Amino acid sequence: MQSTVVPRSRGVAFRQGLIFGVVLAVLEVVLSLLGSSLGSIATILVYVLYLVVPIFAGLRASSQTGKVSTGLLAGLYAGLFAGIISGIVSLVYAFINIDAIRQAAQKAVNQSGSNLTITNGYVITFAIIGIIVIAIIGTLLGLAGGSIGGAIGKGRAPVQTQAYQEAMFQPPQNYPPQGNYPPQGDYPPQNYPPPPENYPPAQ
């Protein structure tokens, strides 16, 4: 009888987390590009996606292993990978458009009445801090989404059957023996136990 093979939890979680993390990062980049037209709605949608997409990652992962922990890890990986990928894209975008970003930031500072001078170093520093904050929030949301998906997907896991393996060593065909078994005869022998004079001398 063949048994249902259950994949390893970490491998499944990593694979599903990577797939959905890439999907989440692409959606986040698209929303970031549309941010000027959507306004604050784009930011809200990004956080919603960081919760919803890991739910599907956790559901897919736990439905293969039957473990909530697998879905939880898949959601965590999805949020983490999405944060890393989108962070790299954002950092590259900041480097490419650093002059325009610096000028816009300087204009905003001047309008607030501050005498602070914005440099390229400030732009890169704030960009890195923002990326780290978003990655942390995204990972936490992914963890929450993965736990929800894991709880749902656990019940969809295939039923595991116990593996059956044939014995490595087969007993002989004449086992147990037939006929006179156990052997007939006087047992124990009539001269047992021996008389005391036959005992070995005490040391």
Residue in the block written with tokens 């390229």: 120
Q: Are 82 and 51 in contact (CB under 8 A)?
A: no
Is the pTM higher than 0.85? The answer reads no
pLDDT tens figures, 52-62? 999 999 999 99
Residue 91 identity: L
What distance in Å separates the CA atoms of residue 58 and residue 87, rounded to the nearest whole number? 23
Reported as type and span, the H/E element at residue 85 is: helix 68-96
What distance in Å separates the CA atoms of residue 166 and residue 78, rounded to the nearest whole number? 42
pLDDT, one tens digit for every residue, the chain (203 residues): 444 445 577 888 899 999 999 999 999 888 887 766 777 787 888 889 999 999 999 999 999 888 889 999 999 999 999 988 988 888 888 889 888 888 988 888 888 888 888 888 888 898 889 888 888 888 999 999 999 999 998 877 765 544 445 455 556 666 666 655 555 555 566 666 667 666 666 65
Question: DSSP label at 196?
Answer: G
pLDDT tens figures, 174-201? 666 665 555 555 556 666 666 766 666 6
